[in-house]
Amino acid sequence: MNFEVFLIDDDVVDVENVRRALRDNQSQLRLHTAHDGQQALDMLDSGEVGTKPTVILLDLNMPRMSGIEFLSEIRASPRHCRIPVVVLTTSDSERDKLDAYERNIAGYILKPVTYDAFVQTMEHVLAYWSLQEFPT
C-alpha cells in the first residue's frame, strides 16, 4: 500500500482498536496518532506526518480542538487542504455529518460497537484507499 494513516482520536481504546485492526488485516501501513486536533496540526506543520500520501481518520469529539475545528483549520491551509479525511466517530448527529461534509471529507463512518465489526470496517477502509491514486 502506498499511503500512511494518521489517526486523530482521544480515546485510547479506539486507538488501540485501530492499531489491532491494522495488524489483524495484516497491513504494513505506518500509523501515526494524535490525541486531539491541535496536536495533529502541530504534527502536520512540523512535517512529522504527511511526508508521504496520508489518509486521516478523524474522530469528532475531542478536547482542546474538535474534529470539526481541525477540519476547518486544515481546509484553510494551502499545505494541508488536499489531505483526504475520513471521519471515524460515534456521532450519528445530522449536524456533525453536515458540518463534516461541508469541510470536504472523503467519508463519514460510524465506529462499530464490536471489535469484529471494527476489524471488518477497517478492512473496507484500507481496501478502498489502497486502490486510490495519490498525486506525488
| pLDDT tens-digit map of 48-100 | 887 676 899 999 999 999 999 999 999 999 999 999 999 999 999 999 999 99
- pTM of the predicted protein model: 0.92
Q: Which helix H or strand E contains 68, and what residues bound it?
A: helix 67-75
CATH, domain range 50-130: 3.40.50.2300
C-alpha cell recorded at residue 115: 471489535
Dist. CA 55–CA 23, nearest whole Å = 17
Query: Within a 10 A sphere around the Cβ of 48, how many other Cβ atoms?
Result: 12
Residue among 49, 86, 52 nearest 67 (CA): 86
- Which own/partner pairs from 91-98 qualify as long-range (CB within 8 Å, at least 24 positions apart)? 91/60, 91/61, 96/60, 96/68
Q: How confident is the model at residue 24 (pLDDT cuts 50, 70, 90)?
A: confident
Over the stretch 114-125, which tens digit does the pLDDT of each residue have?
A: 888 988 898 898
Q: In what order do the strands lie in the sheet with 4-8?
A: 31-34, 4-8, 54-58, 85-89, 107-110
